[in-house]
Structure 1
């Protein structure tokens, strides 16, 4: 029989039952269990993990557990460069392109507003999301921990917050997005780059009262929607401003 002692850190505790949070606990491991198998059996998706230490040594997910092992499991690090220690992935965990599941349409909209390439379709099945993530190297965003446990998904974030604005703030803080944000550079509908157009060209497609009030206009070459710095734009600036202050 193999017994190992586990200790999970920071937000990884949110996935554990209350009696196991923020403390070491010992459990029986399945025969020939790997680090990844036991971490997920305990309820934590592997995509949330950035560093695993077994008896103080950094190991990969495939490492077999032995009787008496002490396993420390850490989430994503933002302030420290731990790249020399990483053993759980061949590539860095975070690439700033996303695919959001069917329940995160509001968050997908706000990420596009912030300038982040984010695929979203409320008809995406879990299998499609996993395949897109693998093929395109995207980070899966979801509140479904079982989706993040799929083997082919290596990059993912479990979103804890419930409301889109709070979810956006959570991702900005967890993934240090402020430095990479390019607000209002993508179409909110098509997820493609916007380009500026002359006021005269915009005037051919908009009521004259709008053209009289605004001087800068942008368009999406795919859906041909027009965007300008109106009240909706000001609301978005107010939302994004505090998130971008530190960059």
Structure 2
């Protein structure tokens, strides 16, 4: 066994027992234990860690811990440029796509409303969510820290908030999603692009009051739902 000292900053402390939050603490580590192994053994999913310093120097997850090592782990820095330090993952260029676990239906709906491609089915099991995230390069959204600790999960976000609108605000801040929003461009049910249609094309599917007061409509070609401002 070797002994190393750890310090988890900002929101990473939420994954720790209260006695270990906001302070350094020493713990025993198995020989040949890596930084990643110990971070997750202490309760923090690797997806939540953006930067690691070992003895004051930028380090990857694969660093083998030695006696007396001092490890500092940091969450996402948002828009702050931390170059030339080594970020632990590279986020894909362009708009992020998501897959949400079975407990985040409200968040999935809000993300679709904001125009973000988000797969969700309350029958998804963990293995299927993991596979979709891996094969399609989607960001896995969950409140299950054990799911995020799976080895093949590269991009994931743990949602600390419980209420969907608060979860959306949390995610927008972490991944800087605000500039990429395209409100009401996706079907809330099918997650497919909406098509603009003339009123005449959908009049027979409109409530009388809506037909009298609205002129702009979109429809989903998969489920035939019609949307209008305020719908």
- Tell whether the structures are fold-level matches, with TM greater than 0.5: yes
Matching of residues 211-222 of structure 1 within 5 Å = 211-222=211-222
| Corresponding position of 1:73 | 73
Report how far residue 205 of structure 1 moved: 2.6
CA distance in 1, matches of 2:108, 2:161: 14
Alignment partners' CA distance in 2, 1:223 and 1:71: 52
Answer yes or no: is the 8 Å Cα contact 1:202–1:211 preserved in 2.
Answer: no
Instruction: Provide the residue aligned with 1:3 in structure 2.
Output: 3
CA distance 1:214–1:5, shift in 2 (3 Å): same
Q: Which residue of 2 aligns with 1:84?
A: 84
Deviation at 1:156, TM superposition (A): 0.7
Q: Could you tell me how far apart the structure 2 residues matched to 1:219 and 1:86 are?
A: 45
In structure 2, distance between residues paired with 1:84 and 1:136? 29
Superposed CA RMSD in Å reads: 1.5
Shift of 1:170: 1.3
Query: SS in structure 2 opposite 1:167?
Result: helix
Q: Which residue of 2 aligns with 1:138?
A: 138
- Looking at structure 2, the residues matched to 3 and 16 of structure 1 have their Cα atoms a distance apart, in angstroms, of 18
* C-alpha spacing 1:191/1:160, structure 2 compared with 1 (3 Å): same
Q: Partner residue of 1:64?
A: 64
How far is the alpha carbon of 1:23 from its aligned partner?
Answer: 0.6
Aligned equivalent of 2:172: 172
SS in 1 for 2:205: coil
What's the counterpart of residue 111 of structure 2?
111
**Normalized against structure 2, the TM-score is what?**
0.95
Alignment CA distance shift 1:212-1:164 (3 Å): same
Distance in 2 of aligned mates of 1:143 and 1:174: 15
1:93: how far off?
Answer: 7.2
Q: How many Å apart are 1:84 and its aligned residue?
A: 3.5
Change (3 A) 1:225 1:83: farther
8 A Cα contact 2:79 2:176, kept in partner: no
| TM-score when normalising by structure 1 | 0.89
Matches within 5 A, 1:1-247: 1-89=1-89, 91-92=90-91, 96-230=96-230, 232=231
- CA offset at residue 207 of structure 1? 3.6
The 3 A distance-change label for structure 1 pair 98 and 20 is same
By how many angstroms is 1:87 displaced? 4.8
Post-superposition shift, 1:204?
A: 3.2
Once residues 93 and 117 of structure 1 are traced to their aligned partners in structure 2, the CA distance between those partners, rounded to angstroms, is 14
User: Structure 1: which 5+ residue stretches go unaligned?
Assistant: 233-247
Quick one: structure 1 residues 93 and 202, their matched pair in 2 at CA, closer, same or farther if it must change by over 3 Å?
Answer: closer
CA offsets 1:96-128 (integer angstroms, 9 cap, x no match): 111100000011000100111100000111001
SS at match of 1:85: coil
Q: Normalized per residue, which structure has more helix?
A: 1
1:50 and 1:93 in contact (8 A); partners too = no
SS at match of 1:157: strand
Q: Any conservation in 2 of the 1:100–1:142 contact (CA below 8 Å)?
A: yes
